[in-house]
């Protein structure tokens, strides 16, 4: 083992730990990796910066713009009406899967889920179906469909770019389609049969028009006329009477020890948790007031402007991630008052002004009706209420669809690289007004772009230093005597496990050079191993943190961590078996 191998493996292990623990943002980790490789001389300066000019990076950025153009032009606005035609849960799921099978192979699946999630919840509620029966399928099928084409996910493009850098000819637009369609059909059948039975029926936590998404945390101030003055929290029996639980008691700036036993005084602030309707009922009956210190005022409102109660989810690429509610006023562009916050799987015990926002957090806001159009168009949040708003019809919707079709078709026919057609398509949509010029940069998830650009040199370093060959010789190489099919199965499982606990792009970067080295060791074609890495890294079903779409529906669907394990693990194993059967058929060793 050389010094270079030790350094590269050390950097890779360091990155894996940071990705898995999420102590730093994924783009920050990528830049740390890039810096370490350059400083230690493990890659040249040109190689260190090559990720920023790589076709995969440019294509992914352009595809974000194209997806935003489709959404903003209203090209996808008819989907909600179509889903609303379903009369039964089975018909609804069949319609949903059919639409996803058409859209998700060509539109970034995070954008697909962001657009579809409110539509799915509205349509599900209209037929008496629990949202929890539809949101995990939404996430899973968007991933399954995304792996059917080269541009379906950023991971597909990343593996293709890395493979080309390592000497592989790369993949065509529909190279993955045969296996992708088989996995999509089998996966949908599973979700319509056994998967439906395994999914929870979380009606109590689904979003309906009564605005009861789940257990919100809010602050209730004891007013002078409150009936709780002179009574302890325990004596008031708020849990028994209202289903509301007091987590902390604030008196001035200090938390009071043992809040249940303290006699309440005027001005005390209760950090309370419960369904919003129960919290509001308690507020009215007990003479309390919502502690509305988070009034976000970008512009002065006209007197008499109607206010609406709105739930907004913090989107995966939101600029407010990491901000506290107290800081939000400086970054927010909309009028509104934050009433409460919902965070799936965690009970918040700090003052709301000190809560740092995460992906999937849901804010309950009182928002002027005139602000709703701008709020829906904000890429930082996903509006979960007010779900029936339609995009204005016009020529831009068919123009956006035609542009996307041309981008894919011209590249598929080999007339121009996908990076060039996607860039031209993005420019055309912007010039046509499908997306406002000042919203173009907001449409791009820059953390993903930096992640791709920062990690691509790691793949180069793993290949050039011999680290990939070392890993192969001391892991996969131990089963090489059983033949390439067994080695393929082990590599697929490695990718499967890594993807569930860290960024799928990072897993692809680490395993693509290993796949190439494995093929060299066995003296066979590398394509089957690269296909295995692509499919395993692009489909994460067993945890809510393995893929951004899972994280999004985790909060909105009221799921437990074990729900993903229960439904997703069998699906992962099904995909593994399908891969072992069909990869050697379509891509022989």
391 in a domain, yes or no? no
Domain contains 390:
no
| CA 559 to centroid of chain Cα atoms | 15
Tell me, yes or no, whether 254 and 318 share the same domain: no
Tokens describing residue 127:
């037929």
3-state DSSP of 335-374: CEEEEEEECCCCCCCCCHHHCECCCCCEEEEEEEHHHHHH
Helices (H), 40-108: 45-49, 55-72, 78-83, 89-103
* Residue 423 dihedral angles phi and psi, to the nearest 5°: -65, -45
Token pair, residue 531, equals 């296909």
Instruction: Work out the number of other CB atoms within 10 angstroms of the CB of residue 415.
Output: 10
Q: Both 266 and 350 in a single domain?
A: no
**Is residue 395 a part of any domain in this protein?**
no
173 and 57 in a common domain? yes
Q: What CATH number does the domain containing 264 carry?
A: 3.30.70.1450
Mean predicted confidence (pLDDT) in 546-563? 78
| Integer Cα distance of 330 and 340 in angstroms | 19
What was the pLDDT predicted at 206? 39
Q: What's the pLDDT score for residue 185? A: 96
Using the 3D structure, point to which of 265, 290, 315 is the last residue of a domain: 290
**378 and 277 share one domain:** no
Instruction: Specify the pLDDT at position 347.
Output: 61
* Residue at which a domain ends, from 271, 290, 309: 290
Task: Write the pLDDT tens digit of every residue in 503-531.
Answer: 777 888 888 888 888 888 888 999 999 99
Model confidence pLDDT, tens digit, residues 405-437: 898 889 888 888 888 998 999 999 999 888 888
Per the structure block, which two tokens stand in for 204? 């109590």
Residues 277 and 212: beta-carbon distance below 8 Å = yes
Question: Hey, CA dihedral for 547, 551, 552, 558, is it positive or negative?
Answer: positive
Backbone angles phi, psi at 510, to 5 degrees: -70, -35
Please say whether the beta carbons of 109 and 153 come within 8 A: yes
- Looking at every residue in the chain, the average pLDDT score rounds to 81
Of the ranges 71-75, 399-403, 551-555, which is most confident?
399-403
* Same-domain status, 139 and 95: yes
Residue 137 lies in a domain: yes
Rounded CA separation 545/139 (Å): 12
Tokens found for residue 288: 């309390």
Say which residue, 266 or 366, is predicted with more confidence.
Answer: 266
Whether 40 and 104 share a structural domain: yes
Q: Is residue 392 part of a domain?
A: no
In this structure, are residues 226 and 287 in contact, taking their beta carbons and an 8 Å threshold? yes
| Token duo for residue 55 | 């076709």
Specify if 111 maps to a domain.
Answer: yes
Q: What pLDDT was estimated at residue 391?
A: 46
Asked if residues 460 and 500 have their Cβ atoms less than 8 Å apart, the reply is no
Average pLDDT of span 215-221? 78
Angle CA(98)–CA(103)–CA(106) in degrees, nearest 5? 140
361 and 421 housed in the same domain: no
Question: How big is the CA angle at 379 (ends 378 and 380), to the nearest 5 degrees?
Answer: 90
Does the pLDDT value for residue 337 go beyond 90? Answer: no
Mean per-residue pLDDT for 246-268?
Answer: 79
User: Do 433 and 558 lie in a common domain?
Assistant: yes
Between CA 348 and CA 357 the distance in angstroms is 11
The answer to whether residues 47 and 180 belong to one domain is yes
Domain shared by 454 and 486, yes or no: yes
pLDDT value for 298: 45
Give the number of other Cβ atoms within 10 Å of residue 409's Cβ.
Answer: 12
Position 525 in a domain = yes
Tokens representing residue 588 in the block? 């022989």
pTM above 0.85, yes or no: no
32 and 106 fall within a common domain: yes
pLDDT digits (tens, 9 = 90+) for 159-203: 988 888 888 898 988 999 999 999 999 999 999 999 888 988 754
Give the Cα separation of 257 and 255 in Å (integer): 6
Residue 376 lies in domain: 295-383
Q: What is the pLDDT of residues 463-498, one digit of tens each?
A: 888 888 888 877 777 787 888 999 999 999 988 888
Residues 159 and 228 in one domain: no
Interatomic CA distance for residues 64 and 25, integer angstroms = 20
Higher pLDDT, 5 or 376: 5
For residue 367, the cross-strand partners are: 308
Total number of domains constituting the chain: 3
Give the residue from 259, 274, 290 where a domain finishes. Answer: 290
Q: Over the stretch 7-60, which tens digit does the pLDDT of each residue have?
A: 988 988 888 888 777 677 778 888 999 999 999 989 888 888 888 888 888 888
Residue 581: alpha-carbon gap to chain centroid: 30
Task: Give the pLDDT band of residue 365 (cuts 50, 70, 90).
Answer: confident
Specify which of 336-345, 377-386, 526-535 reaches the highest per-range mean pLDDT: 526-535
Residue 373 included in any domain: yes
């Amino acid at each position: 083992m050389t010094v270079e191998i030790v350094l590269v493996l050390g950097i890779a292990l360091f990155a894996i730990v940071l990705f898995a623990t999420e102590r730093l943002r994924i783009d920050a980790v990528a830049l740390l990796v890039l810096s370490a490789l350059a400083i230690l001389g493990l890659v040249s300066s040109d190689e260190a910066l090559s990720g920023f000019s790589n076709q995969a990076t440019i294509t992914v950025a352009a595809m974000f713009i194209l997806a935003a153009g489709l959404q903003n032009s209203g090209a996808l606005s008819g989907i909600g009406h179509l889903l609303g035609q379903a009369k039964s849960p089975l018909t609804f799921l069949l319609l949903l899967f059919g639409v996803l099978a058409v859209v998700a192979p060509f539109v970034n699946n995070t954008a697909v889920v962001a657009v579809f999630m409110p539509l799915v919840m509205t349509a599900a509620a209209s037929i008496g179906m629990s949202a929890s029966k539809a949101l995990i399928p939404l996430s899973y099928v968007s991933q399954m469909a995304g792996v059917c084409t080269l541009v379906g996910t950023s991971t597909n493009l990343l593996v293709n770019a890395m493979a080309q850098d390592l000497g592989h000819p790369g993949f065509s637009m529909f190279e993955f389609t045969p296996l992708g369609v088989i996995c999509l059909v089998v996966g949908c059948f599973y979700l319509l049969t056994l998967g439906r039975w395994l999914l929870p029926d979380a009606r109590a936590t689904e979003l309906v028009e009564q605005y009861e998404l789940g257990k919100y945390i809010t602050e209730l101030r004891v007013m002078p006329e409150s009936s709780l003055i002179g009574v302890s929290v325990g004596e008031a029996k708020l849990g028994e009477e209202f289903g509301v639980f007091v987590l902390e008691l604030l008196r001035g700036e200090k938390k009071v020890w043992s809040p249940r036993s303290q006699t309440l005084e005027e001005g005390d602030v209760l950090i309370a948790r419960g369904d919003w309707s129960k919290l509001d009922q308690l507020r009215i009956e007990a003479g309390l007031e919502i502690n509305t210190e988070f009034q976000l005022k970008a512009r002065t409102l006209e007197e008499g402007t109607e206010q609406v109660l709105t739930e907004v989810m913090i989107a995966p690429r939101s600029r407010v991630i990491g901000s506290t509610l107290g800081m939000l006023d400086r970054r927010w562009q909309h009028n509104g008052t934050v009433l409460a916050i919902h965070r799936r799987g965690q009970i918040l015990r700090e003052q709301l002004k000190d809560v740092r926002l995460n992906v999937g957090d849901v804010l309950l806001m009182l928002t002027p009706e005139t602000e709703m159009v701008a709020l829906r168009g904000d890429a930082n949040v996903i509006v979960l209420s007010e779900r029936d708003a339609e995009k204005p019809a016009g020529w831009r919707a068919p123009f956006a669809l035609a542009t996307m079709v041309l981008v894919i078709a011209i590249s598929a026919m080999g007339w121009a690289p996908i990076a060039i057609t996607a860039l031209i398509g993005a420019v055309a949509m912007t010039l046509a007004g499908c997306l406002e010029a000042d919203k173009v940069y907001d449409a791009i998830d820059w953390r993903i772009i930096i992640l791709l650009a920062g990690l691509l040199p790691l793949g180069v370093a793993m290949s050039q230093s011999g680290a990939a060959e070392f890993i192969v010789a001391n892991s996969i190489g131990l089963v090489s005597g059983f033949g390439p099919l067994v080695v393929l199965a082990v590599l697929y499982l490695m990718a499967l496990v890594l993807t569930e606990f860290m960024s799928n792009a990072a897993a692809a970067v680490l395993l693509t050079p290993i796949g190439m080295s494995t093929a060299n060791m066995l003296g066979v074609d590398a394509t089957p191993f690269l296909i295995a890495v692509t499919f395993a890294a692009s489909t994460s079903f067993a945890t809510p943190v393995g893929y951004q779409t899972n994280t999004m529906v985790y909060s909105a669907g009221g799921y437990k961590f074990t729900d993903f394990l229960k439904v997703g693990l069998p699906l992962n194993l099904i995909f593994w078996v399908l891969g072992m059967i069909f990869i050697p058929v379509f891509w022989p060793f």
